[in-house]
Structure 1
Amino acid sequence: MDSGPGPDRRPSIAICAWNPAERGWDPVEDLSGEPWNPPGARTLAVPGDASADVLADTLSRHLRDADCGALLLVGRTALPGGFRLQMRAENRRMDGTERLDHTGPGVARATAPVAEIVRALADVGLTALAASDAEEDAGSYILYRILNDLPDGPVSPSIGLIRAPLDASEAKIHLAVKTAASAMARHLTPLPRPSAA
C-alpha cells in the first residue's frame, strides 16, 4: 500500500550572502513563498545577519550535517570586471594583520567545481573568471574558516564563493547564483535511503 511520497533524498546546498545589507540574493522568487531549488538538490538559505565568526560557525555546523553537501557564499567584489569565483582564501585575521590560525595552512582552496561554474556562467551570458587572489573582507575570512574547519574524510563538501561586480543588477546576481548552485548540485549524490526499522 502506498503511504504517499517518501522522504526527500535530495542533498541540500547552503547559500549565504554574508553581508546583511546585500539584498541581491533571495531564494524566494515569487509570492508562493517557496524557495528556488537547483535540479537534484534543496536550497538551504542561511541569513547573513550575524558576525563573520558566528556565520562561519553556523555554516560549518550545516556542513557537518550529512544532508548538506555544498555551500555557496555570495558577495560583491571591489575589483573591476565580471563575476569572480574565488578559488582560495588566506590564513588571515579579519583586519589582515596576522595569521588567523598559527598551525593552519597559509592558504585553503575552495572545493567547488570552479572551472565548470565559470563555463556555466558564460553559457548564460555572464562574464566570469576564476580568481586566485583573495579579497580582504568577511567573505574571504569566512571561506578560510570553513575550509580550515572541515573534518578529514574521503569526501569533502563542495564549497565555493562567488562575487558579483558592484554594478551587477539583482537579476544578474540571481542568475549567477542559480547557475553556480546548479553546477555544484550536479556533483552531489542523493542521500542514502533510510534503513528499515
Structure 2
Amino acid sequence: MTAEPDATQTDHRPAIIICAWDVDEAGWDPVEDLSGEPWNPVGARTVAVPADSPGHLADELSGHLRDPRCRALLLVGRTQRPGRFLLQLRAEHRAPDGSRSDHGTAPSVARATAPIAEMVRALNDAGVPAEATSEADDDSGTFLLYSVLSGLPDGIDTPAIGVLRGPGDASDAAFTKAVKTAAQAMARNMSPISRARAG
C-alpha cells in the first residue's frame, strides 16, 4: 500500500509563514470558517506558526525558512504607538527581553527583505493607514526579525521577511484586514515553486 503524498509536496504555490508572536493576539486567526482551512492569498499558501517563547519561535521560524518552498515570513503584532499600522524597515541586535545585546561579530542591524514600499501602498489603497518606520519597538517582534534575518543560511534565495504592527487600539477586524492585505502584497512578488524544488 502506497502512502498518500503530502499535499504540500504537490502544491506548487510558494508559502508565506504568518506568525502573531503574542499569545494574547486575537486579531489574527488563519482559519476563517468552519472548514478548518487556513486563509491563503492569491498565488500563495499560508503556514500559520503559533506564538511561543521568543527563542523557540526564532528557531522554529528559521527551520521553516530553510525549506525552499517557504518564500516569505510576515511577523504580526501590536505597537503602543497610536495611529497607523507600521512596517518595520530594520531591527537592531537585541536580547529577547528587548535589552541591547552584545553582538560580538554579528551585524548590529538587519534590514527587512519584504517589499515594504509595495505593502505600505497596498495597505493605504485598502483604506488601512500605514507607513514604513525605522523605529523598532523593544519587543519580541524586533528580536524575531533580527534573529531570523541574521540566521539565514548562505546560498539560498533570500525570502521576504517583515514585521507588521497594528496600533493597540485597532479592532480585530482592522488587524485581520491589514494582515491579509500585507500578505497579498508579498504574494504578488513571488513566482510558483518549480517542480524540482517542490519534490
| Shared fold, TM over 0.5 | yes
Counterparts in 2 of 1:95 and 1:45: CA distance versus 1, 3 Å: closer
SS at match of 2:118: helix
Cα distance, 1:193 vs. partner? 1.4
Q: Provide the residue aligned with 2:40 in structure 1.
A: 37
Q: Provide the residue aligned with 1:167 in structure 2.
A: 169
Q: Provide the residue aligned with 1:13 in structure 2.
A: 16
Cα distance, 1:94 vs. partner? 2.7
Which residue identity is paired with 1:127?
P
Q: Taking structure 1 as the reference length, what is the TM-score of the superposition?
A: 0.92
SS at match of 1:93: coil
> Is the Cα–Cα contact under 8 Å of residues 13 and 45 in structure 2 kept in the other structure?
yes
Distance 1:82 1:134 in 2: 14
Q: Provide the residue aligned with 1:92 in structure 2.
A: 94
Distance 1:59 1:126 in 2: 27
SS at match of 2:114: coil
> Is the Cα–Cα contact under 8 Å of residues 55 and 96 in structure 2 kept in the other structure?
no
SS at match of 1:54: helix
Cα distance, 1:81 vs. partner? 1.6
* Residues 66-105 of structure 1: pairs in structure 2 closer than 5 A: 66-105=68-107
Q: Provide the residue aligned with 1:178 in structure 2.
A: 180
Comparing 87-96 and 9-18, the one that deviates more: 87-96
Cα distance, 1:68 vs. partner? 0.5
Match for residue 122 of structure 2 among 113, 120, 124: 120
Distance 2:169 2:71 in 1: 31
SS at match of 1:119: helix
Query: Which blocks of at least 5 consecutive residues in structure 1 are unaligned?
Result: none
Aligned residues: percent identity?
A: 59
Distance 1:131 1:24 in 2: 22
Distance 2:192 2:120 in 1: 24
Residue deviations 1:142-167 (CA, integer Å, cap 9, x gap): 11000000112362000010000111
Which residue identity is paired with 1:110?
A
Distance 2:116 2:102 in 1: 25
Which residue identity is paired with 2:30?
P
Which residue identity is paired with 1:56?
A
> Is the Cα–Cα contact under 8 Å of residues 99 and 138 in structure 2 kept in the other structure?
no
The runs of at least 4 aligned residues of structure 1 exceeding 3 Å deviation read 95-98
Residue deviations 1:25-58 (CA, integer Å, cap 9, x gap): 001111111111001100100001x110000000
